[in-house]
A and B are shown apart, each in its own frame.
Chain A
């Protein structure tokens, strides 16, 4: 089966020490997968390894039928779009220009957009609900709007796979749910594979198709219902001194 992204006995970490080991992860088209784990559990390390920013310690990562390491930077960017944490410093770019940067893996040497590229950019803006502020400067946006812009940029990259590192980290509840719903629609309606890391247990359980739990260097994967029923969540958080309430899906 040609999954858009799949790993086999993957170990990730910085330097020689593995932070998370034995990761067997498959992303299906049209699926929203949420990665959950406490700070320092290795969520970001795994995500950055999948994005090609870190080298795996052992194991393999395949994009479709090709290995990640074989792909050129451009081919990788045509397969996966990534939204990293941290604010972009591009204060003097307007929203449309920034989202247009998502077309880079597809454009020529000067990055000139064809009418077809412009259309992809417009669709990405519309899809992310920011079609009416293409002219605004990035610095004039709220945190929530800025995150929508960064997602629109990734969407304009037109890739089968989207990876997002804590897309809701700096957002309030309303914006956080908005962003999660947007990502769910992108997965369902456009058939993209969306993998994100999050601390927001509640919306992960509500909206994700699958949960990847990272705990003490191992991964557990299953549907939200399985995560609750199997006690995987409960045991993961119990060791942190918290109780997971299976009825409300919340921590106490």
Chain B
């Protein structure tokens, strides 16, 4: 097929499995592998162990897995669609739209009390509404302009607008509501309970599946939209499918985990570096695996295993992600061009 490196497809699943197990073993209490196993099959020696493993650590590790893979897939979809190495769900304004929805929900709570829904459900709906709202604006603009670069700039402007609206709401909201929003904004994989997990996993897996089915038109788009059109790609339709997939993934993940910085943007660059190829048939699965591994790793670091304290997830993803992006731009113009 191509001379891309294949060993990442062994390395990444092995690393992922190891990190997943470490997630179950470590935390504020370190459990032995046997204790974890017994807790999983419901024969825990201490009642507390079962609770820790099955209700806290397992859902958190699953959340990291799906959110990491999903955001990374979003990043690659955006980078190829816009032929821009700095594109990602946050750049298109989709994460900002989701944040606006969540901010509205958390900061303007009195206005929404009449809705007969659980707070969690309201949060997810608000985030999805925000993401899809921005997406609609972008799609309408897309129909008028039909040019990738202009669309990217419109996405940026929508992002600024959302931030400004959030600032206005923050200035007028009570301290406790503000605290809730700020905590959500730091990002976390810990907020998804077992009961809520399917609401993240089902859209996440659907979105990731769609991204994997798009590899053929994505490869053609590497040669430019016009050239792709002469190769049998229905460009306008493909562009819409890519944007809906991104909206579904980014909207859902942001609702549950907060706006996670850099995972979507940096992961495709790491995967390109590992494979040394931009053939999406290999790059897309590698990017998704890489995203899951990086999310698990960042979350593990953020939890500071063995201590009671933890640091915000977004601090860790930024500490790891920002140098990766800077390094890509400085050292390897070839990778930047490859997007």
With A53-B226, A80-B230, A88-B223 as contacts: A93 and B279 at CB distance below 8 Å: yes
Q: Is the CB of B223 within 8 A of A77?
A: no
Distance from A69 Cβ to chain B, minimum over Cβ atoms (Å): 14
Q: Is the CB of A73 within 8 A of B234?
A: yes
Task: Pick the interface stretch among A96-104, A166-174, A188-196, A241-249.
Answer: A96-104
B139 within 8 A of A: no
A84-B224, A92-B272 in contact; A101/B219 too (CB < 8 A)? Answer: yes
Within the complex, which residue of B2, B232, B234, B281 is in contact with A110, where a contact is CB–CB below 8 Å?
B281
**Contact mask B171-209 → A, CB, 8 Å, 1/0?**
000000000000000000000000000000000000000
Interface bracket on A: 35 or more
Measured CA separation A122–B337 after assembly (Å): 27
Once the chains bind, are A102 and B231 in contact (CB under 8 Å)? Answer: yes
Of chain B, the residue at the smallest CB distance from A78 is B232
Q: How far is the CB of A126 from chain B (nearest CB, A)?
A: 18
Contact between A97 and B227 (Cβ–Cβ < 8 Å)? no
Q: 8 Å CB contacts to B: which residues of A94-120?
A: 94, 96-98, 100-102, 104-105, 107, 109-113
Query: A91's contact among B226, B227, B337, by CB below 8 Å, is which?
Result: B337
Number of B residues with CB within 8 Å of any CB on chain A = 31
Q: Interface centre among A74, A90, A104, A109, by most B CB within 10 Å? A: A90
CA gap between A89 and B232 in the complex, in Å: 19
Using A52-B230, A157-B231 as known contacts, say yes or no to A91 and B223 having CB atoms under 8 A apart: no
Asked, given contacts A92-B272, A107-B216, whether A53 binds B231 with beta carbons under 8 Å apart, the answer is no
Q: A51 and B278: CB pair below 8 A? A: no
User: Counting CB contacts under 8 A, is B276 at the interface?
Assistant: yes
B-chain residues with CB within 8 Å of residue A73 when the two chains form the complex = 229, 232-234
Contacts of B234 in A (CB 8 A): 73
A97 to B83 Cα, complex, angstroms: 19
Interchain CA distance A206-B335 in the complex, whole Å: 42
Are A92 and B216 in contact (CB-based, < 8 A)? Answer: no
Alpha-carbon distance between A28 and B222 when the two chains are bound, in angstroms: 32
Q: Is the CB of B231 within 8 A of A105?
A: yes
Mark interface residues in B271-294 (1 if CB within 8 Å of A CB, else 0): 010001111010000000000000
Across the interface, name the chain B residue whose C-beta is closest to A80: B230
Interface residues of B (CB under 8 A from A): 1-3, 83, 213, 215-216, 219-220, 222-224, 226-227, 229-234, 272, 276-279, 281, 334-335, 337-339
5 shortest A-B CB distances, which residue pairs?
Answer: A77-B232, A111-B216, A92-B338, A82-B230, A97-B2
Q: Can you list 21 pairs linking A and B with CB atoms under 8 Å apart? A: A53-B226, A73-B232, A73-B233, A84-B224, A86-B224, A88-B227, A89-B83, A89-B222, A90-B338, A91-B335, A91-B338, A92-B276, A94-B2, A96-B2, A101-B231, A104-B219, A104-B233, A107-B216, A110-B213, A110-B216, A110-B281
Assuming A74-B232, A109-B213, A139-B337, what are 12 further A-B pairs, CB within 8 angstroms? A76-B230, A91-B278, A91-B338, A96-B2, A97-B279, A100-B1, A100-B2, A104-B231, A104-B233, A105-B232, A110-B213, A139-B334
